[in-house]
Amino acid sequence: MIRLDKIGKQNGKQIVFIEASAALQKGEKIGLVGPNGAGKTTLFRLIIGEEQPDEGQVATDRGITIGYFSQDVGEMAGRSVVAEVMDGAGPVSAIAAELREAETALADPDRADEMDALIERYGEVQARFEELGGYALEGRAQEVLAGLSFSQEMMDGDVGALSGGWKMRVALARILLMNPDVMLLDEPSNHLDIESLIWLEGLLKGYEGALLMTSHDREFMNRVVSKVIEIDGGALTTFSGDYAFYEQQRALNEAQQQAQFERQQAMLAKEIKFIERFKARASHAAQVQSRVKKLDKIERVEPPKRRQTVMFEFQPAPRSGDDVVSLKKVAKRYGSRTIYDGLDFAVRRRERWCVMGINGAGKSTLLKLVTGTTAPDDGTVSVGGTVKLGYFAQHAMDLLDGDLTIFQDLESSFPQAGQGSLRALAGCFGFSGDDVEKRCRVLSGGEKARLVMAKMLFDPPNFLVLDEPTNHLDLGTKEMLIRALAGYEGTMLFVSHDRHFLAALSNRVLELTPDGVHQYGGGYTEYVARTGQEAPGLRS
């Protein structure tokens, strides 16, 4: 359906693609992977024609429809969420707008003298709307929105009142409702809770068109894609299999290339040693010349490209007492809505609690109660006297001083630390070289999250409270964080929609449901095995 044939592309001084080729066939579900800045978004833009290759061509089958979801959702305001989603569904959305105009005109007393013409016009538009499946479309739009965790009240409300994350879901719903021949999805798993992710997995598995997507959620990628295209060093390499297979195959390829490189280096060293030893002897002149010619003709094996991965290691945190935090008979209400009523919950040293529950169940509220960010209406929250608390909250990213550079921000947070240790810290979290001179105002969501995380972990607390710490993080940084936290000896309480993160780090589960609060010994993997569900209310 789509073919990339020996494409070349340069953005300024950066070479993005060199004679890169790949294909997307009907029914294929492909994951697009590569380091940040490798050219994933550029590839999407080349396919939809927003950019042109400098060399080669992008060929698209005639007549196919392409739906492209990107992180740049644009302006949305002035109509309901359902109407906004239906607007992406092609010709029927224009007819829907006409139908709404006709209904408004019929209800206008100033146009009573036109009533016969208006009724006739309304009938024509309504018939056309029905013919195009318009009434079924509204039902489908609501079904898609419900799958993405929208309440009926949100669906009927003004799309302009939504936060950026919810507008992303609206933009995604438009593409899903459109049901094009080809879907290009750039990070569709960002901003989704675990229930929406699992729903989206099911929908994409049943999608009959071709899919090309990026995602920082390895579990989501594993369950949806059956092929991976890697962008690295300007080339496109295709691997048949899911993301786990790609990782294994890539590691195997690297090991084989390294072994081949080392064998050739040993052979070259031996030949060069012979040439150096005998080049001055006339008796060996013919042999020396023969070996020089042989070396000139050998095609050199390159060592494998090393992905830059820096490990972050925790400094030992001071040991806390056994009782880290205790909530007794806690009540919390927002207006007429009761979140907690008589909650009893305790966290003990070295426990790692993941908190699970549907949207609005009170996950973030619990973290705010524990950290003292919000006070209970009734009951008590007691934190142990030797507890040193570190809290990663989504709003922390908004508190960065936009005028400071990354390095200045780190220096102001840790004035006693040496420049070398701060640069090492920045490097662990993906800020190397000149990156540390970027001003905080120009940082992406992922970069801000990494900076906040770096500051929190440099002087380690013995109790970490994390609210969606992997939002915006790429796969490499996420893996680094998981490995670092696996070796952390303190206590953790966290909310995450990333199942790999949940499974790797939790040893307790607190489930918030309409029926009450349930506690499970054992981590997320045991929770899934015992309950038969990956999230509250969902069957696996």
Are 204 and 29 spatial neighbours (Cβ–Cβ below 8 Å)?
yes
Return the DSSP state at 155. Answer: H
Q: Is residue 380 part of a domain?
A: yes
Q: Is residue 421 part of a domain?
A: no
Out of 174, 198, 228, a domain closes at 174
Residue 415 three-state SS: coil
Residue 49, by phi and psi: left (phi above 0), alpha (psi -120 to 50) or beta? left
CA dihedral angle for residue 174, residue 76, residue 363, residue 371, rounded to 10 degrees: 150
Query: Which pLDDT belongs to residue 306?
Result: 62
Return the DSSP state at 312. Answer: -
Residues 11-21 as b/e (b if ≥16 CB within 10 A, e otherwise) read: eeeeebbbebe
Out of 156, 174, 192, a domain closes at 174
Q: In tens digits, what is the pLDDT along the chain, a chain of 540 residues?
A: 899 999 999 888 888 899 999 999 999 999 999 877 788 989 999 999 999 999 999 999 998 999 999 988 878 888 899 989 988 776 677 787 788 888 888 888 888 888 888 898 889 888 888 887 777 888 999 999 999 999 999 999 999 999 888 999 999 999 999 889 999 999 999 888 899 999 999 999 999 999 999 999 999 999 999 999 999 888 999 999 999 999 899 889 888 988 999 999 999 999 889 888 888 887 788 888 888 888 888 888 888 876 655 566 777 888 999 999 999 999 999 988 999 999 999 999 999 999 999 878 899 999 999 999 999 999 999 999 899 999 998 777 778 899 999 999 999 999 999 998 899 889 888 888 888 999 999 887 778 888 998 898 888 899 999 999 988 788 888 888 898 899 888 999 999 999 999 999 999 999 998 888 999 999 999 999 998 888 886 654
Q: Is residue 446 part of a domain?
A: no
Measured distance CA(119)–CA(500) in Å, rounded: 58
Strands (E), 166-262: 182-186, 210-214, 227-232, 235-240
- Which helix or strand (DSSP H or E) is residue 218 part of? helix 218-224
How buried is residue 450: exposed, middle or buried, by Cβ count under 10 Å (0-12/13-18/19+)?
buried
Q: Do residues 209 and 257 both lie within one domain? A: no
Q: Is residue 233 part of a domain?
A: yes
Q: Do residues 232 and 160 both lie within one domain? A: no
Token pair for 532: 């038969």
Residue 398, number of CB atoms within 10 A of its CB = 9
Q: Do residues 250 and 221 both lie within one domain? A: no
Token pair for 464: 């970490």
Out of 174, 206, 223, a domain closes at 174
Q: Do residues 196 and 218 both lie within one domain? A: yes
Measured distance CA(327)–CA(111) in Å, rounded: 64
Q: Is residue 503 part of a domain?
A: yes
Q: Do residues 188 and 143 both lie within one domain? A: no
Side chain identity at 46, as an amino acid letter?
L
Rounded to the nearest 10 degrees, what angle do helices 445-458 and 406-413 cross at? 20
State the residue for tokens 């894609």. 225
Q: Do residues 236 and 254 both lie within one domain? A: no
Residue 299, by phi and psi: left (phi above 0), alpha (psi -120 to 50) or beta? beta
Q: Do residues 251 and 335 both lie within one domain? A: no
Q: Is residue 410 part of a domain?
A: no
Q: What is the CATH number of the domain that holds 397?
A: 3.40.50.300
Q: Do residues 17 and 88 both lie within one domain? A: no
Task: Classify the C-alpha dihedral 394-398-399-404 as positive or negative.
Answer: positive
Q: Is residue 75 part of a domain?
A: no
Return the DSSP state at 533. Answer: -
Q: Do residues 129 and 7 both lie within one domain? A: no
Are 406 and 450 spatial neighbours (Cβ–Cβ below 8 Å)?
no
How many structural domains are present in the chain? 4
Measured distance CA(80)–CA(85) in Å, rounded: 9
Measured distance CA(366)–CA(340) in Å, rounded: 9
Q: Is residue 447 part of a domain?
A: no
Q: Do residues 230 and 126 both lie within one domain? A: no
Q: Do residues 92 and 166 both lie within one domain? A: yes
Question: How much is the pTM?
Answer: 0.81
CA-angle at 186, arms to 15 and 434, nearest 5°:
45
Token pair for 485: 């936290």
Q: For residue 510, what are the domain limits? A: 323-401+457-531
Distances in whole angstroms, Cα of residue 480 to Cα of each of 246, 388, 403, 474, 485: 19, 23, 28, 10, 9
Show Cβ contacts of residue 521 under 8 Å, excluding neighbours closer than 6 positions: 508
Measured distance CA(132)–CA(100) in Å, rounded: 16
Q: Do residues 107 and 251 both lie within one domain? A: no
